[in-house]
Amino acid sequence: MKINFNINGIVKELDVPPQKPMCDVLREDFGLTGTKIGCREGECGACTIIMDGKTVNSCLVPAVSADGREILTIEGIQKFPETEIINDNFKKVGAVQCGYCIPGMVMSSYALLKENKNPTEDEIRQGLSGNLCRCTGYKRIVMAVEGSARDLNNIEGEN
């Protein structure tokens, strides 16, 4: 089936089999391998993307259902200044170990901070609750998001 969607600001057309999930289309058809695949069951969040402004598990989204939608992947958000700040904070507090969960974590953090500029610890944990990390124990990830919120608010205050 032929579909059109906007991926990271560029309109793409593709012929896709009806059941092919979005995560496979991104990785195999567009080489966007920053979107990781863990469980393929909507449980781990490694495949998190933003579709029409909301985070979704791309393993659960048949690509055909993305027809006409706007998709942002971890590659696409790198051009936003917010992402640089989030990336820096993840590095600064040592929130990255094997790194496998991190693209999904950064996607969810970006989406959370877009909606809520001053999230509490509970709100951060809630916002990242669909993203699993086997390595870090979450404390440093929460610290990274808190630091990102602080830095983003400071920058906004200066402007």
**Phi, psi at 26, each rounded to 5°:** -60, -45
Residue 36 tokens, joined: 């990781």
Q: Is 59 in the site for ligand FES (CB under 6 A)?
A: yes
Among residues 38 and 76, whose Cβ is nearest to ligand FES?
38
Radius of gyration, CA atoms only, the chain: 16
Among residues 3 and 135, whose Cβ is nearest to ligand FES?
135
* Min separation Cβ 132 and ligand FES, Å: 7
Subset of residues 68 to 87 that bind ligand FES, contact rule: CB under 6 A: none
Q: State the CB neighbour count (10 A cutoff) for residue 9.
A: 10
Subset of residues 2 to 31 that bind ligand FES, contact rule: CB under 6 A: none
Between CA 79 and CA 35 the distance in angstroms is 16
Q: State the CB neighbour count (10 A cutoff) for residue 75.
A: 17
Q: Is 96 in the site for ligand FES (CB under 6 A)?
A: yes
N-terminal to C-terminal alpha carbon distance within the chain: 47
Task: State the amino acid at position 154 in one-letter form.
Answer: N
Residue 111 tokens, joined: 């989406």
Among residues 22 and 152, whose Cβ is nearest to ligand FES?
22
Among residues 14 and 133, whose Cβ is nearest to ligand FES?
133
Size of the site for ligand FES (CB under 6 A): 23
Which residues are at the interface with ligand FES (CB under 6 A)?
Answer: 37-40, 42-47, 57, 59, 96-102, 133-136
